[in-house]
Chains A and B, each alone.
Chain A
Amino acid sequence: GAVVSQHPSRVICKSGTSVKIECRSLDFQATTMFWYRQFPKKSLMLMATSNEGSKATYEQGVEKDKFLINHASLTLSTLTVTSAHPEDSSFYICSAQNEKLFFGSGTQLSVL
């Protein structure tokens, strides 16, 4: 079946650095991918919709300059957390839809 691959699964970085997370659809093309954020023991919250070849659409309250999204091809979307701070520490998950909606395995970001 369709698979969405997300990398890295875990990253620890110093405050002020930038971190890039990749989301790939392995056996299908996805013109639209989604990025979610999940705090411990909380639900997933949609951050933005990544559109291939155009600008991402951000949900209210999500800083687009902070969370840069690039969807350069039909199989790859990247989320870059710029100048990360401890409050950005969270579990980030991407998803893409073929006939069904598939999720990546998530990236645990810890900012020291």
Chain B
Amino acid sequence: GQQLNQSPQSMFIQEGEDVSMNCTSSSIFNTWLWYKQDPGEGPVLLIALYKAGELTSNGRLTAQFGTTRKDSFLNISASIPSDVGIYFCAGQLQGGGADGLTFGKGTHLIIQP
């Protein structure tokens, strides 16, 4: 099946630093999504990407869909304590809800005081 390679696996940063994580795949996805998950909760959508090359921002978050539809990155600027959590990339092969998502293994973001 499809696989998403997400890196880094974990990040230890200081508050105020910028964060960058990425996902790559050998498969082409129609939609690319970035989620954040807090312990014991379901994932919450951060950014959705639909077009190759698309660059989208949501507050301090910026994500881009690679031109080949096989990769994406997520940047977080000026990190704050509430950014702590696990970030997942996810790809959907077909749009319109026809497919479930394939998830990356997650990036665990830890902010040191």
Contact = CB atoms under 8 A, between A and B. Distances in A.
Interface of A: 6, 30-32, 34, 36, 41-46, 49, 59-60, 91, 93, 95-97, 100-106, 108
Given A34-B101, A104-B42, A44 B48 contact: no
A106 B48 contact: no
B100 A36 contact: yes
Nearest to A94: B42
A105 B39 CA distance: 11
Given A36-B100, A44-B90, A103-B35, 15 more contacts: A34-B101, A42-B105, A43-B105, A43-B106, A44-B101, A59-B1, A59-B100, A91-B40, A96-B97, A97-B96, A103-B42, A103-B45, A105-B42, A106-B41, A106-B42
Nearest to B102: A46
A101 B102 contact: no
